[in-house]
Structure 1
């Protein structure tokens, strides 16, 4: 939105306003806008949630240290979504269809999470939105985005699969692109949701992965960098740098209130939306496999749940003391901050490995 204003002011007032047309400048402003917004919204949202008694319900069979968290305001993901949307609408080029796909995906999955949270904490339904309906609406949104992107692709690079560490291996996916995009979006959404079990555990890896995806978006949308790094040049991808910057800013603002001991939890409204937007951005910049590396913490958390359930059903035995795996380490005696920080460190290492794939080809 402000891109248009900057162009108008540049032509009619002063050429200095041209600085706001630069992608790097708008990305910086996107981070700062989202950060300031989330810091401003945070206290007001927390007080509002407390007044409505919208608090987290803690399972009795979980770590005993979590019982003190019962009643902590949840649905704090609303501050993240609002901050990202406002910042993105202000600083991104709204003529870019990739921007709209990401923002609409964020909003759609946020609505699914909101309904789930509302039923849990307001209607006191412990199951929330029925799993089949949650998955149905996730499938509708992800499938719609996948079909739209496939049929609006204008160059082969937009539907090719990039293989990390190999510069000449880029098979065309054809209609399989839609299936891959669907699973990446839905899978990442639910993976982040499973990871969101400790104070700050999910948001910091999300921030790091979003920042790295911003780098991928910038170089993929820059013809010179794309040629130098021997990756496909996708012009529309560059504008996603602004959206990634907004995610980073909003995430940092949320972490201010979510760090241990948390004043607010993001709830499904935040985790489902953030996971989905990371997934769709990875699809748009053609880095689905690199997302699997950088989001390794999310992958490990998801696999731990799958292995736990599978082992119990097949053998009647559990592999972990509790799943997702962060609870396993808590029950082993690790203090919550130790689990959180160590998972952050692992996430940072994995993100750096993901970024290294740009050069190691």
Structure 2
């Protein structure tokens, strides 16, 4: 919205031309989301406490988590509001990719909200029935996948970018729909699984979003895309605004979510953040890059799959508890040590992912 306003004002005051630069608007998007989160954070926490919307703790979880019972949850509503307001203020709203990202963000947020609402308000520990949870995630992912396929069939929009090979960019055809579905749904649930310790999920999300901000800037610039041997995608540059808004909102939320957490994001936040990272990866044609940069989310998800599979097939557990962050807790690692070490690994993976863009 402000992009349009400043575009109009530049006719009269040339100073406003500075806001035509994508990087400037991206920085302001980060700052706007950050300020909204910081200013509204305590108010949201007080409101959640007043409504007695407290975290439900698993009885079979680590004993150290029992003290977290009752901590306000559904703080992801603050993250979603901060991102949405910032994006609507600073992005070019004529860009369809911006609306696609917001559609997934809010859509997955609503699914997570329904799950959280049933858990903490209706006191239904099971939350939203699993099949309905995945059904609505699937509906949202398939709507976007089919729409993108129809719009960009046989163009860069539906091509697969393969790391390390600059001349290998195969067209996916109808398999693009299937890939998009698995990336969006998978990313949403992977971040959801990771959100088990104070600040554990939000900082890797910030790192990955920051990495994708750079990638979107390059993908939307003909010269940089050619230099890096990645497809130039017309609308992708504006996703930098979305990514930087995620970074700002995430850092603002971390102010209150850092150990010991004053608030948890809940499924309303984790599903939404995972889903939007997934669709951003699809829009940028960097699904493989998401696997690398979001490696922490992949590891957490694999640990659950391996644990369940091993128990069903062999009757034995691989880890003391899954997801894997609980395994290290039960080994005696203090919660802050697990969190910070996972952050360090996440940062390293994002940097490695960015390096692969040049190694072609």
- What is the TM-score with the length of structure 1 in the denominator? 0.99
CA contact (8 A) 2:37 2:82 kept: yes
Partner of 1:8: 8
SS at match of 2:357: coil
Partner of 1:95: 94
Deviation string, structure 1 residues 157-197 (Cα, Å, up to 9, x no partner): 11110011111111110111111011000000000000000
- Give 1:154 deviation, angstroms: 6.8
Poorly superposed stretches of 4+, deviation over 4 Å: none
Deviation string, structure 1 residues 66-110 (Cα, Å, up to 9, x no partner): 111000000000110000000000000000000000001100000
Partner of 2:30: 31
- Give 1:259 deviation, angstroms: 0.3
Structure 1 segments unaligned to the other structure (5+ residues):
none
SS at match of 1:253: helix
> Partners of 1:155 and 1:325 in 2: how far apart?
40
Aligned: 1:357 with 2:360? no
Partner of 1:122: 121
> Partners of 1:154 and 1:235 in 2: how far apart?
14
SS at match of 2:10: helix
SS at match of 1:346: helix
Partner of 2:160: 161
SS at match of 1:152: helix
Call closer, same or farther: CA 1:128–1:219 in 2, change over 3 Å.
Answer: same
Partner of 1:335: 334
- What is the TM-score with the length of structure 2 in the denominator? 0.99
- Give 1:149 deviation, angstroms: 0.8
The count of corresponding residues between Structure 1 and Structure 2 is 360
> Partners of 1:105 and 1:156 in 2: how far apart?
23
Deviation string, structure 1 residues 38-63 (Cα, Å, up to 9, x no partner): 11111000000011110001112111
- Give 1:23 deviation, angstroms: 0.2
> Partners of 1:109 and 1:19 in 2: how far apart?
34
- Give 1:114 deviation, angstroms: 0.3
CA contact (8 A) 2:141 2:185 kept: yes
Partner of 2:346: 347
- Give 1:210 deviation, angstroms: 0.4
> Partners of 1:74 and 1:60 in 2: how far apart?
18
- Give 1:357 deviation, angstroms: 1.2
SS at match of 1:321: coil
- Give 1:155 deviation, angstroms: 6.3
> Partners of 1:112 and 1:32 in 2: how far apart?
28
Which structure 2 residues correspond to residues 28-67 of structure 1 after superposition, within 5 A?
A: 28-67=27-66
Partner of 1:250: 249
Partner of 1:263: 262
Deviation string, structure 1 residues 233-292 (Cα, Å, up to 9, x no partner): 112000000000000000000000000000000000000000000000000001001100
Aligned: 1:177 with 2:165? no
CA contact (8 A) 2:154 2:173 kept: no
> Partners of 1:281 and 1:122 in 2: how far apart?
32
- Give 1:15 deviation, angstroms: 1.3
CA contact (8 A) 2:153 2:173 kept: no
Which structure 2 residues correspond to residues 202-281 of structure 1 after superposition, within 5 A?
A: 202-281=201-280
Aligned: 1:285 with 2:284? yes
CA RMSD in angstroms comes to: 0.8
CA contact (8 A) 2:206 2:247 kept: yes
> Partners of 1:230 and 1:112 in 2: how far apart?
37
Which stretch has the larger CA shift, 145-154 or 262-271? 145-154
